[in-house]
Amino acid sequence: MSFSVVVFLEHFSHLENRSARNEMTVDSQSFGKHSYIKRDPVTQMWYNSILEIIGNTPMLRLTRVAPGIKPILLAKMENLNPGGSIKDRIGLTMIEDAERRGLIKPGGTIIEGTSGNTGMGLALAAAMKGYKCIFTMPDKMSQEKIDLLRAFGAEVIVTPTAVEPDDPRSYHSVAHRLNEEIPNSYFPNQYDNPSNPQAHYETTGPEVWEQTEGKITHFVCGIGTGGTIVGAAKYLKEKNPSIKVIGVDPEGSIYADYFKTRKLPESHPYKVEGIGQDSMPKIMDFTNIDEVIAVSDKDSFLVTRQLARKEGVFAGGSAGTATYAALKIANDLTENDIIVVIIPDHGSRYLSKLYNDTWMKDNQYLEPKLKLSAGDITHGKRGKRVLISVGTEATLMQAIKLMQENDISQLPVIENGQVVGSLTENRVLSTLVSNPTLREHKVKEFLDKPFPVVNEKISIENLYKMLDKESPAVIVKHEDSSLDIISKSDLIYAITENSTESTER
């Protein structure tokens, strides 16, 4: 039997067993409210709508991100929904509830403020039901999310992030205004819409309970609008009040502090997308939440990258936030505990951010491979040379001789202790080719812009960017106010020497 056939049969067997398990124990009346639950993998070999595939996501045991932990850690793979996130569940639910209540009619327009994932869930359902979509998004969201929404025919309006929630420019305010202006439009408003937590009470919670056969002891979930944790926690606590529900919040958001003090703190910017808030949504309810853990952007992104590289789980940054918290609580648990952590969305939305090494380094989330500063490079330069420079009153010929004698290709031009310009061999060559007699003219007639001046603590990676794009050299100002210069050849020498030393060690 071929490998592909074996895999297919094993996968089909898994679906059959899962379906049978669900049929025996899950309340079918509750699950029949929304179209994405109406499926039978045993007898149905295909689906008639993409909406039927939403939900019933698998669980994966995580063993490699923390091989020494005692409890079982299960990832609920919401990134495998057809729209790539857990928000597919509420997108369909909110639209179908609006249809039943007569809030939107055929040919209408759906308008929502979203970080991207809810928009995708709404766009998916709207595409199948014939609605137009307009989404407002904060400008901190990745370009991939914007492009995904536009791929489904949605109009995307990008709004500023650094404004108050009630500012008319905020993404929530803009969506509200458009809803008032456009006839036959519907504003789901996931932050205030009770259909949001209801979707998770009817689907996510029951799935978690059934997939763990009721043995779950800890439920870990990022808090964004609050819909997932409020709805799933309510269901799970009804089944077993002893289950611990842990909310996860990015540092800078309001939830963790509010949970401890019951006072709304001032929010601060953070980079993790899709979770956290700067104001309290109406649907948020802490009744069934036992703890809220704050996690830094750096820890979130590093764990997210580990999920991809060690577990093969390609997810967004909020998955790392929740997994970091799950690993933290796992240290105090036993072999009898089962932790379920929500993996909210797919990593394809973040290729230009947390999966991009340059972006990670620019935001100080990744350590450079070579921990060298400008000061390290100047102190280790061959021959420990002093800074060779020329004054504005020197002749071009004098400058040329300085370059030849010291085997250098550029000179800083210094006047009264200040760097006022530069002279490079390219500039000298073009000048002499056009008129050789200009060699007796003064340097000040041929100045290029000064080399950038940096302090000695700047990293080698930032130096490289400046040399590569802006200038053939930079001036380093030390703490004692002395000056030195770093050229591309100095950088090459420093990297080679330090790489050799690392290899030898």
Any idea which residues carry the catalytic annotation? 87
Q: Which helix (H) or strand (E) holds 325?
A: helix 317-330
Contact at 8 Å (CB) between 131 and 342? no
Rounded distance between C-alpha atoms, residue 91 and residue 97, angstroms: 10
Report DSSP letters for 119-173, one per residue.
HHHHHHHHHHHT-EEEEEEETTS-HHHHHHHHHTT-EEEEE-SSS-TTSTTSHHH
> What is the per-residue DSSP string for 359-393?
HHHHTT-S--SS--BHHHHHHT-GGGPPPP-B-TT
Angle at the Cα of 205 (from 88 to 221), degrees rounded to 5?
75
Rounded to whole angstroms, the Cα distance separating 126 from 91 reads 9
- Residue appearing with tokens 């979130």: 300
Partnered with residue 222 across adjacent β-strands are 248
Q: Distance between CA atoms of 66 and 329, rounded to whole angstroms?
A: 12
Three-class secondary structure assignment of 15-32: HHHHHHHHHHHCCHHHHC
Strands of 132-138's sheet in order across: 155-159, 132-138, 109-113, 185-186
Element (H, E) at 416: none
Query: Which residue has tokens 């929630």?
Result: 165
Q: CA-CA distance, 251 to 257, in Å (whole number)?
A: 10
User: What letter would DSSP give residue 348?
Assistant: G
